[in-house]
Structure 1
Amino acid sequence: MILVTGATGTIGSHVVRLLTDRGVPFRAMSRRERPGGVRADFDDPASLAGAVAGVDTVFLVTVPPVPTADHDIDLITAARAAGVRKIVKLSAIGSGKLFDGATVGEWHVAAEEAIEASGLVWTMLRPPSFASNFLRYRALIQAGEPIPNLTGDSRQAIVDPRDVAAVAVAAMTSDAHDGQRYDLTGPKLLTFTDQAAILERVLERLVKIIDVSALDQLPTGMITGISWARAGGAAYVTDDVLRVLGRPAGTFEEWARDHQEALAAMP
């Protein structure tokens, strides 16, 4: 039995679909009652205990309003008490790197260290930006308004969330990936301008961008990560998706074409 946290989110929803297609038993965790799922909240330890009861493996995704490892640690504590064997954690690229006197992804590092210290079997997934992040800008694109560019002219190997989910499922259903940290990148380095140009081609409409240099409205942890990426820290490509899945990672353009209708629809 697998527990999928973040089951309605960007990666979790794909994980749920893949597990369903393969007939793998799982339990989808969410804060609201859902058919076939389990209601639990990271801020309610008692509910976490119920969610992990009878579970062998946990797919751990936490997205707190302010970056913190507290939610991860609460789930880890409940998992150990329930006899869970394995955790596959969604982390982030660059976690643990030092930049400008701060640690990139400090809250992810704290959670990863807690998992390692727990004695549970683990796999850490560290993707860069998701191609699907552009879905949040649908209204701006349709209105002809510029979308914000937080990463300047730096390059990243933007990843298809479907690839991240597929690697997560592989790690949860096989012992071949135990104890591994995977940097799950796309196959090509792209600037934000490159991505906008691809969207223009796919959508056949102008996609404007506007550079945003002031990051002071963001939480400190996020500022460190974005600043690290802006300085070129995330400008590398790995073959981790290929090694795990036996096929190349999908391109940003492939993702955009597969989601053309969603990008064109009103949010």
Structure 2
Amino acid sequence: MTPATHYMIKSNDNKSIWITKEAARHCERVFSIFQANPQLVIPVTAASNELRKVATWCEQYKDGYTHHPPTDWDRQFLAIEDAQLTDVLTAARKLLVPPLMGICFRALCERSQQKRLEEKQKNDGLCYSIQSEDGQVFELTAKAAKLSGTICTMISTNAVQINNKENPIRLELNAAPLSIIFKWCEHHKDGTVGVMTAWDKELLAVGNQELMEVLCAANALGVKTLFQMVTDIIGQPGWGRQ
């Protein structure tokens, strides 16, 4: 009897996919089964399109895969939508093709990191123009603006446009306390604000009158955590003594 040169797997949509014996060596979960019974048709719980992608990759490297990092051919071959790439990874896991699993996983991680970077750059680039009562204009990023309940309300109710320097948000507050408040908001825009840090204390190390102005402005803007920080400073024994 002539030794089998091809094996067959069947997808969950009932499509048959042939794979050569050499390529099937990559499929660790089924290769030993094929060796024992070459005529067997092995069902795999994956769609035919993704199984064909796995089989094509295995055929490309049927003589062995030793490439690290992935080759240009790998990148071009897997230049597909995230959803399909995830399905290919799943199919590769069903057949246990470690090199392809690693390539797919790495590609998905890189894409996820790139999306997060692009989203951060996008958010950092979106700013609201805000004008103080004494005429100074500030640029406050969209993420930092979320720390002010008052500004968030103004944005949601007044159809304020982003990156609109010609028509800034006008506040009845002076520039000096706003400068401190907006600097605080920018510093804390990416994380949860907890206890007062050394950075916060240094920022708020201003004169008594200036700190009272920050307190009033933070209250007016609904920057609750900053308001509480300033309140804690003012409430300390001996504060206000010259």
**Category of TM-score, reference length = shorter chain:** under 0.3
TM-score by structure 1 length? 0.18
Report which of the two has the higher share of helix: 2
Which structure carries more relative contact order (alpha carbon 8 Å, separation 6+)? 1
Larger Rg: 2
